[in-house]
Every structure is written in C-alpha cells, then in structure tokens.
Structure 1
Amino acid sequence: MSLGVPQLGVPVDVWLTAPAGSGEVLEVVDGAFVTKRIGGNPHHYLAVSLLLEFERQWGAVATAPGNWAIELAPDGSVVRGRVPDVLVDGDELRTVDVYVGVPAAAVEVWSPGNTLREMNEKRGEYRAAGLPVLLEAFLSDSGDVHLDWMVNLGRHWSTVATSEGDTVLDVPARPGVHEAFSVVPNSLLRR
C-alpha cells in the first residue's frame, strides 16, 4: 500500500469553489481557509474606480477583486492566497482564475472592520512576495477618500504619497518600479 503525498495547502479548484458566507470571502493562510468580511457598496465602488484609473493611466489590465496565490506548495496547492480589492498586471488577469507571480500593483480598500493585525499581515505578505506598489484606500470619518501610495523597499514599505479629499494624489514615475499615477481621491466616488 502506498501513501499519498500529504496536501500542504488548499488546491486551487477547492479555493475557487469553497462556499463563503454572505458578505464574506475566503483567503488562504498557512494552508487553511480564513474568512474575511467584505466591505459595502462604497468600498466596492472605490475599488472599481481605482481599477479603471490603473487601466486608463498605466494601460495595464486590472481585476477587482483579484485571487492572488502568493505562495504555492511543491504540490501546487495554495499555502497563502489573498484577495486584494484590486490586482494590476497584464493580460494574464483576463485568463487565469488565480494569479500566480508578482503583480505590478495591488490595492487594499480598508474597512472599519479590518483589524490592525490583519492589515499588517497583508502588508508583510505582499512585501515579502515582492509586490512593488501597494495603494491603500479608506473612507475617513468625514467621508473623504484617503489614499496612501507605498513602494516596497525590501525590508519595509515606504509611503511616497498621501492624499485625502480634493487634494491630488500625484505620484511621479519611478523607472523600473512603477509608472506615474495621479488622481483626486474624492473623484473616485464621483462626488
């Protein structure tokens, strides 16, 4: 009798078909499912607006949300899989159910229900995976959109631009890292 190779993570097809509760999404952390709550309509609208801005300004392909297999086991199962609000890269995002590799950028739209621990875990995972750009967005207490543009310096993230409300977020291109990006945060909610 031969013993099968133990599964080290979650098979991709299982991740894609596993049932999540209403208002929830399943991510994979250390080879096991973790349930994450998803935001409401302003959260989703903001994510789609940022997707459109990346596609318009960078000529890239983006998806909102995006299934990203950050770490695969030798057997191809997902050890770490996250669902950023937006993934930005190339044509592959149109054809694969789960993105494997390092995207050009990712967006996290934080909601009041996100814990600091969860935010720091994702930041650390994205940095360790080599993600060059992380754009964080949230609605401030005043209802304004707040944006933080961060670049990966290897050992930590560096916030290179921050903007809120009607003040332009203007990020110059960094050759070899990212293209230029400019947007008025509140315009993302079409106020």
Structure 2
Amino acid sequence: MSLSAARLGVALATWTSATAEVGQRIEVVDGELVVKKVGGNPHHRIATRLALAFEEQWPGSYAAAPGNWAITLAPDGSVLSGRIPDVLVDGPALNEDPVCTEVPRAAVEVWSPGNTLAEMNEKRSEYLKAHLPVLLEAYLTAEQQVHLEWLDNAGHSWRTAATAVGETLLDIPASDAHPAFRVVPNDLLGRGRS
C-alpha cells in the first residue's frame, strides 16, 4: 500500500460507531481510538445544566452534552484528534451532524478526580491550538461545592476571565468573542439559592 493511500487517522463513521463499556467514552488521540473513563452523576448533572444555561443565554446556540468534536482532520478526512467535551456549544449543526468538524463557540470540561493533570493539560493544549474561543472548566470540590473557571483563548495561552465557587455568581460580560453568561455554580446541582 502506498503512503498516499494509507489512512492517517480514524474515519468519522468508525469513531461514531465504536462502542465502549458503561462509564466509558471513546476519543481519538494521535489517530487512534482511545477509551476514556466517564465521571459520575454529579459530573453529568453539572454538564447537563451548563448545556441548558448556554442554550438559554446564548441566542442561536445549541449545546450537546456530551459532544463529539473532530479537532484535527487528516487530508483524507479521517480524524487525527477527536474529543468528547462534556458540553459542546455551537450552531444548529449540532442537531444534524454526528461530529462537529468546525471550531465550536465554546466547550465545557467537567473534571473528575480520576482526570490526571497530564490529560487535562493535553486537552487544554489541543483546544487552544484549535482556536476554541471559550473553555469553561468545572469540578466538584472536596467540600461538595461546584468550582467554575471561565477561560478565554488569548492566542498563545488561556486567560482566566473569571472563577466562581459555590454560591458566588460567575458573571461573564459580553465581548466580541461571545455573549454574556451568568450562573451560580451550586445551582448546577440544584442546591443553589431558594
């Protein structure tokens, strides 16, 4: 087989039809399918409620929780890097296409205790290089408080625009890159203000 005929990555259809065990997801890393562990119920609850908050607050946006994003495509259209952020925010194509192949408007990663620092940094780096405008990171603290960090793509690095924990409002003003966004972190678990 000649090099030009060789597949460089994973076909979109192969990625979307790959199956995993319960509690796992399949991503594409360096052109290979890789099984990743999924967080538990609080993780999913935070992601689901953030997806709804983006749809409510960003006109014309749709959110998939989780969402398939082909970050890097090979010349033959196969996937070299494909991630499944906990939430992917973009336009109506999220309702029609099984994989986002363009740069979405935003992504959310809800980090679990099982995520390693190396894995977190690898995803941050991939998202930065792909020119993702906004990355919202979330995790549950040891005190069972939701922690949020809003990161804007500054070109060469992520810039923290705001953080909020527990009952403190995350208040992101509108910019040229995105609409305004507001949420009280603990409300994402249904424990917020009454």
Class of the TM-score when normalised by the shorter of the 2 chains: over 0.9
Counterpart of 2:154 in structure 1 is: 153
Aligned partner of 2:55 in structure 1 is 55
1:162 is paired with a residue whose SS is: strand
Give distance in 2, aligned partners of 1:188 and 1:73.
37
Alpha-carbon shift at residue 21 of structure 1 (Å): 1.9
Mapped to 1, the partners of 2:152 and 2:168 lie a distance apart of 20
Partner of 1:101: 102
Give the corresponding residue for 2:74.
73
What's the counterpart of residue 162 of structure 1?
Answer: 163
Aligned with 1:99: secondary structure?
coil
Look up the match of 2:28: 28
TM-score where L is the length of structure 2: 0.95
Aligned AA for 2:114? Answer: G
Partner SS for 1:120: helix
Alignment RMSD, CA only? 1.0
1:6-17 matched pairs, under 5 angstroms = 6-17=6-17
Runs of 4+ in 1 over 3 A off after TM superposition: none
Task: Give the letter aligned to residue 103 of structure 1.
Answer: P
Paired residues, number: 189
User: Cα offset for 1:22?
Assistant: 2.0
1:183 paired to 2:183: yes
* Equivalent-residue separation in structure 2 for 1:26 and 1:162 (angstroms): 30
Q: Distance in 2 between matches of 1:12 and 1:66?
A: 14
Gaps of 5+ in 1: none
Q: Which amino acid aligns with 1:97?
A: P
TM-score normalised to structure 1 length: 0.97
Q: What's the secondary structure of 2:5's corresponding residue?
A: coil
Deviation at 1:19, TM superposition (A): 1.8
Q: Measure the CA separation in 1 of the matches of 2:159 and 2:8.
A: 33
Paired AA for residue 135 in structure 2: L
Q: Secondary structure at the match of 1:121?
A: helix
Secondary structure (helix, strand or coil) at the match of 1:179 reads coil
